[in-house]
Chain A
């Protein structure tokens, strides 16, 4: 009989905690696309996706020994991803104070239409209008996390997640429609 996915993941995490590189590699391969999607949703910029995803996984490897419950690995990993992205956004904000032309450089729009569809452009615009805390919620939901898992990741209650999610979805829809119709 095959072990359940949760047990298999917990075993994999335990092996990775012991320093097994093959297990660490397997974890990265399993989660790299999901983490990259999360990072892209949070930052809205394709040029920082690979760098930030790499930072998330390096932090994961370094901090893996501190993870007490391997079954909670996914919530823990996305909490790391969230913190990394929020740190990055804060650092960008601080940098703007010291570098006078940084906003101009950072606000240079990515070439549209070459690879992105209108829908994706509209979504990226709509996400960029939201607060980072709201982006986290939407990215986690879209990533397939349940309300309970999001509450665990963000260390808050399920009721708070539902209320904030409702508000974030409304705001996203408004910005998405206004850009898509424009």
Chain B
């Protein structure tokens, strides 16, 4: 018998002793209540990616909208300047 075999037996015995006597009932209660299972790593990454995508989209929409507003303001200003110049005969 290999020296570590005895240690393996102890490890399994110790692990078994770590469970509460009503472990099975606890599991069934938790399963019924829909709790207990930690979300998988994949689902956590998916949630992170979705959050990042929403943030990126929000920033992009905000940036496009503010650029559009700035363009409109600039055009309005130029139109005002152009009509003022027309009125004063500056362009003739």
The answer to whether A36 and B19 touch across the interface, beta carbons within 8 angstroms, is yes
A49 to B12, CA, bound (A): 11
Q: Report yes or no: A58 in contact with B12, Cβ–Cβ below 8 A.
A: no
- The number of chain B residues with a CB under 8 A from chain A is 28
Scan A117-128; emit 1 where CB is below 8 A from any B CB, else 0: 101101110100
Q: How far is the CB of A37 from chain B (nearest CB, A)?
A: 4
A137 at the interface (CB under 8 A from B): no
Cα A123 to Cα B15 in complex, Å, equals: 14
A-B residue pair count with CB separations less than 8 angstroms: 109
How distant is the Cα of A37 from the Cα of B19 in the complex, in angstroms?
10
The answer to whether the Cβ of B27 comes within 8 Å of any Cβ in the partner chain is yes
**Of listed B4, B6, B31, residue having the most chain A CB within 10 A:** B4
Q: Which chain A residues (40-70) contact chain B, with CB distance < 8 Å?
A: 40-41, 46, 49-50, 53-55, 57-59, 61-62
Q: Are A123 and B8 in contact (CB under 8 A)?
A: yes
Known: A36-B15, A37-B12. A119 touches B6 (CB 8 A): yes
Within A3-47, which residues are at the interface with B (CB < 8 Å)? 21, 24-25, 28-29, 32-34, 36-37, 39-41, 46
A-B contact pairs, 28 of them (CB 8 A): A25-B25, A25-B28, A28-B23, A28-B28, A32-B16, A36-B18, A39-B15, A40-B12, A40-B18, A50-B19, A50-B20, A54-B26, A54-B36, A55-B37, A58-B30, A87-B40, A91-B38, A91-B41, A116-B10, A117-B7, A119-B4, A119-B7, A123-B7, A123-B11, A172-B4, A173-B4, A176-B3, A180-B3
